[in-house]
Structure formats: C-alpha cells, structure tokens
Amino acid sequence: MTRTREAIVVGAGLGGIGIAIQLKRLGIEDFEILERNDDLGGTWHVNHYPGLAVDIPSVTYSFSFEPNPHWSRWYAPGAELKKYCEHVAEKYDVRRHMRFDTGVESARWDDDSGEWHVQLADGSTERSTYLIVATGFLSQPKVPDIEGIETFTGKVIHSTEWDHDYDFTGKRAGLIGTGATGVQLIPEVAERAAELTVYQRTAIWVTPKLDFAMPGLARRAFGAVPLTQRAARLWNSTVLEALLAGVVNFRRLRPAVKAAERIGRRHLARSISDPELRRRLTPDYDFGCKRPTFSNSYYPTFNKPHVHLETGGIARVDGDSIITEDGTRTEIDVLVLATGFSLWQTNFPAFEVIGRDGVNLGKHWRNTRFASYQGITVAKFPNYLHLAAPYSYAGLSFFTTIEAQMKHVDRLFGELRRRQATRFEVTESAADAFTDRMQRRIDDSVWTLGDCATSRSYYFNEQGEATLARPTTTWQNHREQETFPLDDYDYA
Ligand code: NAP
C-alpha cells in the first residue's frame, strides 16, 4: 500500500481536468488522476472517427475561463478538441498528476481511517481522503446484443475504436446506429465505401448545422479582444438555453419544442424528395425526448444511389450477412457500430463503489432510487464526488455541467477549510429534498409530458425514469451550486 493522498480523481477527460483545476485553485496539490486509457481527453481521446466534430458551437463548448481564439470552425473538429484538452491540462499544470493505463476496479470507504481504498486493475491499492469519479456518462462502449454478431466473418469497427488503416474503398459497409455519432459517420463512410446499408432502429431529430470556417478577422478579434469571444459565447449559450428551456418546461413552452420539430421536418423535406424515405427518417416521438443533433450532410447522403436505409430491424448476423426481420439478407465486408454507450447497464457507477456501512452505490441506486445532491454528492458516501451522478447533466454543452460542479466543490471545500474539517457527507434529508424537487420538475418536462414512448432515449433509466438530466436552467444550476445551504452537509 502507498501513502494516503489527499484526493484521487478517476478519469482524465474534461470532467477530471476541470475538477483537477478546481482542486489546485483550492491549494490541493496532493492528488492523482487515474486514467485507464493511454492519454488524456476522455471522449476526445477515444473518439477519432472520420467526421468527428463538436455539435455544440466551440465558443460555448470550452471552459469559460480558457477561451480558445484558434478554433478553425464554428463547430471545431474533434482533433482540435483533443488539442484543447492537452493545452488546458498543460497550462493549468494538471497533466503531471495523471497516471495513464491505470484502470480502477473498485473503491471502498473505510470509516475507521476516514479514507477511500481504491483497487486498481493491476491488483494494487491506492488510498485517499477524497475520491472524485469523473468517468463520464458516455464511456462504456455498447456492442449491440444481436444474434450471431460475434461470429461475423468480416471486419467490425466500433466508433470508439476507429481503425484508420482500414480501407473502405470498394467495400460493402453496414452501419448500425443513427445517434449523433452515426449522423457524423454515415456521410463519411458513404464517401469511401462502394455500398452502404444503414440500419436505423430509431430515427433522430436533425436540425441544420450553421457551420462555417472561422473568419480570420473573428479569430484575430477573439485573440486581441477576449470580450468579443465572451459576447459570442453569451449569445450562443442563450440560443442553446432557449432550446433547453422548451424541453424542461414543456408544460409552458411546448410551442418552442414544436417549433424545433418544424425546423427538423423542413430540413428533412428540403434534403429528401422521396416521401417514403422521408417518412422513414422522421422521428415518431417529440423533439427533446432523446438527444437531437445538427448536420447538413446527413440527410443528403441517403439520396446517393449506393446508400440504403434499412428500418426493418435486424434479426441476426449470419456469416458475412445481416438479415433483417423481413428476411432480407445483405452481404457486407465491414460492419460499423455507431451503437453508442451503455449508460444504465454498465455505468452508474462505472466500477463498484462501496460507501459507509457497506452500501454498494450501484445497488443502492437501483434498489432505492437514482438520487444525488446537486448532481454531485450522494448520502452515505462520505468524501465522495460523482460527476456523472443522477440529475447532473445540465445544459447542452458539457462545460455547463463541469463548471457548475467546480463551483460546488469550491463552496464545499471552502467550508471544510473554514471548519478545519476533513470529512463531509451530504445529509439524507438534503439529498432526498433535492431529488424530490428534481422529480417534480421532471413532471413539467418533455420527458414526462411529451410523447417519448418510442424514443429509446438514454435520458431514461431502465425503469423508464428520466434521472439523467437536471431539469433546470443552466443559470439556476450555477446559482444553486454557488449558494446551496452549507448545513446540507455534515462535517467532521
Ligand atoms: P446513441 O445516441 O446512444 O446512438 C446509438 C445508436 O445505435 C442509436 O441509433 C441506437 O438505436 C443504435 N443501436 C444501439 N443498439 C442497437 C441495436 N441492438 N440494434 C439496432 N440499433 C442499435 O450513441 P452515439 O450516437 O454514440 O451518441 C451518444 C452521445 O454522444 C450523443 O447523444 C451526444 O451526446 C454525444 N456525441 C456528441 C457528438 C458531438 O459532436 N459533440 C458526437 C457524437 C456523439 P436506438 O436509438 O433505437 O437505441
């Protein structure tokens, strides 16, 4: 066993980087960031498939305290995001705290010593006073449970493990999944492959992407007068906020959601003239039930003669073929899985976490309810922060969530200091009151009042409850994280 560190952070993605910056602002230097991958950046390290780009404008999709005047486009390509992660980690001196190729198997709170014992994949144990889990929502790739898929005789590529050496030229490709990843990948695979069959189970709402190369003048202005970039961020974040407001306040702002649907329908109609194809690409659930996306190239791809849309449902994979439920057999050379991530099955949490009195976090959430306090702490889990907790996902840009959580940590650890305490635990009554309030607010959202039955949205847990997103405005979220009652925690 090694000595007890002040903190261990699990995950070197943007969440882990943000929280590490916050720890350093608080003067905490004795911490380690454990990362199972071989480099930092989380999602922006793992994903490098062709066409990868942010789908939230980059002036908003970045830390507010570290604007980047160098984005090449309004929606930066993924490689620039990876560089941005590296830049932030270097500038804020958090890279040296990172240990790569270090998987965490489990963590257990030891009440006698007041420390977390963190079991690593290599069998060793690390100890820390505070444990911060920053493993994200979208970190456990999902391989679909389709009969025969493991015996497919061709090449299989999951979007999180892109093989840049594989040459699609002349190949017959099959692609499963039409989420945000599929929407970015499909036009790219169509450009390269001889044939492409897209297997869509649930259509996605797609609105136009107002994308453009950043004019040199704008970049120079952003660099020379940071206020200009802050103004662009404010304007863009307000637009995104308005979109979100309709979704979380569906009871009152239903017309906003319907307006977004009309934009999506018009976008589809302008791109696809075949009414039958249009019908199959039209979602049959309300906008906002499921994460929508933005693209100008997705719909037009289906007009190409070598691109086929299959909506009949996959029955099984047999040798080199995919067989749909109506018996259609399509021979393919390569199967691309844009099948997303397993949130509720293998996340929440991503590894075993045992808190006070031997409470197992995953079982506790499933046996009682998915609860948290302010989307970051959990009763019975002392000195524990879980960044991807229930009701933590706020706003459309991930940075809204992480920066709000940084504010929470600032206030909580500030109070710990003031009291000269080393231990915190949210009270059960405060966590219950927060979760009850979030559940009541969910009752006003599209997730309760809208028609979401067919959406198959990861916003809903396995019991069909929308326990992922925080149903408040991002401004309210930030205000609450800065002002929550300090006696919502016990300190020792
Ligand atoms: P996703 O939204 O979960 O989509 C997965 C797709 O795979 C869905 O279309 C799903 O169909 C399909 N699928 C899964 N299992 C299947 C099965 N057994 N048979 C048939 N189809 C199956 O995952 P994602 O596209 O990777 O996106 C995840 C999230 O990542 C997004 O919501 C977004 O937040 C983020 N993202 C962001 C960007 C960006 O530009 N910033 C880009 C990509 C992703 P069903 O819908 O029927 O389940």
User: How many CB atoms are closer than 10 A to CB 388?
Assistant: 25
The predicted structure's pLDDT at residue 260: 93
Residue 243 has what pLDDT?
Answer: 82
Q: What is the pLDDT of residue 27?
A: 97
Nearest CA to ligand 1 atom 28: 340
Average pLDDT for residues 130-153, to the nearest whole number? 95
Per-residue model confidence (pLDDT) at position 55: 86
- pLDDT of 96 reads 98
Number of helices and strands in the chain (H, E): 14, 20
Q: Structurally, what CATH architecture does the domain formed by 149-212+255-337 represent?
A: 3-Layer(bba) Sandwich (3.50)
Is the C-beta atom of 458 inside 6 A of ligand 1?
A: yes
Is a pLDDT exceeding 90 seen at residue 162?
Answer: yes
At 102, list the tokens.
Answer: 């270090």
Under the banding of pLDDT at 50, 70 and 90, the label for residue 181 is very high
State the pLDDT at residue 277: 97
Atom number in ligand 1 closest to CA 144: 18
Residue 240's pLDDT band (boundaries 50, 70, 90)? confident
Dihedrals phi, psi of 456, to nearest 5 degrees: 50, 55
- Please state, for a pLDDT cut of 70, what percent of the chain lies above it: 100
Confidence of residue 44 (pLDDT cuts 50, 70, 90): very high
Pick the residue whose CA is nearest to atom 46 on ligand 1.
202
Ligand 1 center from residue 181 Cα (angstroms):
6
pLDDT at position 266 over 90: yes
Integer CA distances (angstroms), 167 to 37, 256, 339, 345, 376, in order: 26, 44, 21, 33, 44
Domain 4-140+343-491 annotated CATH 3.50.50.60:
yes
Instruction: At 403, list the tokens.
Output: 């920066």
Residue nearest to atom 20 of ligand 1 (CA): 201
CA angle 203, 474, 469 (to 5 degrees): 45
- Which residue is it, tokens 């911060």? 132
Q: Ligand 1: distance of its center to the CA of 338 in Å? A: 6
Q: How high does pLDDT run on average in the chain?
A: 96
Contact 466, 442 (CB under 8 A): yes
Statement: residue 328 has pLDDT above 90: yes
pLDDT digits (tens, 9 = 90+) for 61-97: 999 999 999 999 999 999 999 999 999 999 999 999 9
Residues paired with residue 321 on neighbouring β-strands, in sequence order: 318, 331
Where are the domain boundaries for CATH 3.50.50.60 in the chain?
A: 4-140+343-491, 149-212+255-337
At residue 207, the pLDDT reads: 95
Question: Rounded to the nearest whole angstrom, what is the distance from the C-alpha of residue 317 to the centroid of ligand 1?
Answer: 20
CA distance 102 to 118: 11
Choose one of 291, 293, 317, 452 to mutate for the ligand 1 pocket test, by most ligand atoms within 8 angstroms of C-beta. Answer: 291
Give the pLDDT score at 1: 57
pLDDT tens per residue, range 339-377: 999 989 888 999 999 999 999 999 999 999 999 999 999
pTM: 0.95
Q: Which atom of ligand 1 is nearest to the CA of 159?
A: 26
Across 177-184, average pLDDT: 97
Cis ω on the peptide bond leading into residue 349 (within 30° of 0)? yes
- pLDDT single digits (tens) 375-420: 999 999 999 999 999 999 998 889 999 999 999 999 999 999 999 9
Q: Whose CA is nearest to atom 2 of ligand 1?
A: 179
Mutation choice for ligand 1 from 156, 339, 455, CB with most ligand atoms inside 8 A: 339
46 lines ligand 1 (CB under 6 A): no
User: Among 120, 21, 9, which residue's Cα sits nearest to residue 65?
Assistant: 21
Q: Does 178 contact ligand 1 (Cβ within 6 A)?
A: yes
Residue nearest to atom 10 of ligand 1 (CA): 177
Residue type, 487: D
Burial of 39 (C-beta count, 10 Å sphere; 0-12/13-18/19+): middle
Q: Are 417 and 409 in contact (CB under 8 A)?
A: no
Q: Is beta strand 195-199 parallel, antiparallel or unpaired with respect to 172-176?
A: parallel
Digit-coded pLDDT (tens) for 187-229: 999 999 999 999 999 999 999 999 999 999 999 999 999 999 9
